A and B are shown apart, each in its own frame.
Chain A
C-alpha cells in the first residue's frame, strides 16, 4: 500500500503555490493601480485619490484621465491575455497566439477602416471588429486545412495573414487624412491615451462574462489540451466547446482592440509567463488574466513616467515580446517543428 499523501504531495503543494502566486499577482496589480492613479504630470497622494473616487468629486485628472486609463489597462490586459492563453492552450503551441497568427490584426483592419473611413461610433466598431476577427480566424483555418489540418501549417498561414493585414493597416493609415493620424497611430501599437469613460462599461461587462464562461469551461479546456481524441473520450463535446472558446477569444480581442488598439505581445506573453510561474497542471485562465493586466499597467507606467519621452504602452510591451518570440522560434526549431 502506498501512502496517498506521497503520490499527491506535489499536486497539493502546487495548489498551495498556485494560490500564493495568485495572491502575489493581485497585490502587484493593486500596487500598479495605485501607482497609475497617483503618479503622473501632477502627483496625488493615495488618500486624495481614494477620497476623490469615493466622493465622485469633480477632479478632471483623476476621474476623466487616470481612472478610465487604468480601467482600460486592466480590462484590455485581461481580454488580450485570456484570448491568447486560450488559443495557445487549444492549439498546444505558444506561437499560436491570436496576435501572431493574424486574428488580432484581422480585427484591427476592420476597426481602422470603420474609424478612419466610415467614422462609425465605438460600439459599432467593436461589433464589426468581432465579425472581422471571426472571419479572419475562419479564413486562416480554412487556408491552413486545405490538404489536411496541422497546427504548424495554421501558424505559418497565420503569420502570413498577419503580414498581409499589417500591410493593409499601414496603407489605410497612410491614406487617412492628416487630422486623423494621431488617432490612427493607436492602431500601429496599442495606446491608452484619450480613453473616455463611456467606452468602458461594455468592455468591462464583456470581460467579466468571458471570465465566468472561461472558468466554467476550464476543465474542458484542460481535457482539450490532451488532444481532440482524449477530449472526446473523456466526454467533452469537442466541436461545441472549441468553437465557443474561439468565439469568446475573438470577441475579447476585438472589443479590447477597439478600445486600446492592439497592445503588442500581451496575448502572446501572458499565458506562457503565468504557466511558468504556476505549475503546468493549474488552470491558467486567472493567472494569465492577472499577468496581462499587470503587463499593461506596468508597461503604461514605464511608458508614461520613467522614460525621457512618453511612449505608448504597446511599444514598451512590444519590446518585451520580441525577444521571447525569437527565443521560442530558436527553441522550437531545435525540436524540428514550429
Chain B
C-alpha cells in the first residue's frame, strides 16, 4: 500500500465570478478518516468538488503525490480518487450488480468484456457494503440506506486509495447513519482507505473522524484531532452557536450539547 498524499495548494474556487473558497492549503492525512465541518455556505462541499475535479479551481492546484491533477490522465486519477456525490442518479431499471460494475470504467479496455479482476473488485465492493443479497434487485425499489450502500459500493469498485463522500448520511435515519459510518470505518481500518467526508452532524463527526478540518467563509480556520476541534470555543467560532461539550460516555469522544436561547443556564458550570 503506497501512501497517496493529496494536497490542496492555495485553492481559490467558486461558481462563475462568485468566489466561495479563498486560498485554502491543506493536506489530507493518508489512511485516516477526515471530516470537513463548517456551517452552510462555508465552502466545504465546494472544497470536496474541487478535490474531485467536479469544479476547476480559479487558481491554485490539487496535487496527488506532488503531481498536479491537471498533468495526470483522467483514468489514472480515477484509479486513485473516488467519490460519493450528494445526489446520485441511476439509469431506470438497472440492477444493483450492474450499477456497481460501472465503477470499473477506468480499468476497462475498448471492446473487452469484464475481466476476472473486474468481477473480483465488484464482488469485494458489494461484500464490503453487505449488498450481495441485493445483487439482482432494481435500484428503484431500494430503501434510502440500501441505495446509499450501493452507491458507495460503486465507488469502492473503482478501487481507489482515497474516497470522498459528500454528506453520505443525509436523509437517512439514525440507525442507517450509524450503519453507513460503521461500514466506512471498517473499510478504513481493513483496507487503509483514506476517507474524507463532509458531515453535518458534529457528534457523529467527532465519533468517527480521526482528523477534522473546520471551515468558515471559504477559509480553513482550524484543523486537528476531534478533541482539539470539538470545543465550545471552536464550535462557536465555526457556527456562531453556544454549546457545552461533554464526553460521550460510550466512545469517550467529545460531544456537544447545543444551547438554545430558551435553556436555563443556571445549572451549567
Contact = CB atoms under 8 A, between A and B. Distances in A.
A185 to B, nearest CB: 38
Report which residue of A4, A9, A235 has the largest number of chain B beta carbons within 10 angstroms of its beta carbon. A235
Interface in A222-238: 222-223, 225-230, 232-237
Interface string A265-285: 000000000000001110000
Contacts of B123: 2, 4, 7-8
**What's the dominant secondary structure at chain A's contact region?**
helix
A234 B158 contact: yes
A227 B88 contact: yes
A92 B91 contact: yes
A223 B78 CA distance: 12
A199 to B, nearest CB: 32
A53 B187 CA distance: 65
B119 A4 contact: yes
B193 to A, nearest CB: 15
B105 A281 contact: no
Contact of B132 (A2, A219, A223, A233): A2
Given A92-B89, A92-B91, A281 B98 contact: yes
B89 A8 contact: no
A15 B110 CA distance: 17
Contact of B105 (A2, A8, A14, A236): A236
B20 to A, nearest CB: 17
Contacts of B126: 7
A15 B101 CA distance: 14
B105 to A, nearest CB: 4
A230 B78 CA distance: 10
A226 B75 CA distance: 17
A6 interface: yes
B33 to A, nearest CB: 19
B81 interface: yes
A23 B204 CA distance: 54
B77 interface: yes
B91 A225 contact: yes
Given A216-B110, A219-B108, A222-B105, A233 B98 contact: no
Interface string B72-84: 0111111101110
Sort chain A's interface into a size bin: 20 to 34
B54 interface: yes
B127 interface: yes
B1 interface: no
A232 B54 CA distance: 7
B110 A232 contact: no
B127 A2 contact: yes
A11 B97 contact: yes
B111 A11 contact: no
Interface in A1-57: 2, 4, 6-11, 14-15
Contact of A235 (B78, B93, B101, B114): B78
Contacts of B182: none
Interface string B57-93: 0000000000000000111111101110101111111
B241 interface: no
A215 B110 CA distance: 9
Contacts of A2: 123, 127, 132
24 contacts: A4-B119, A7-B97, A7-B122, A7-B126, A8-B97, A8-B119, A8-B123, A10-B95, A10-B135, A11-B114, A14-B98, A219-B110, A222-B105, A225-B91, A226-B89, A227-B85, A229-B52, A230-B85, A232-B52, A233-B53, A233-B81, A234-B78, A236-B74, A280-B92
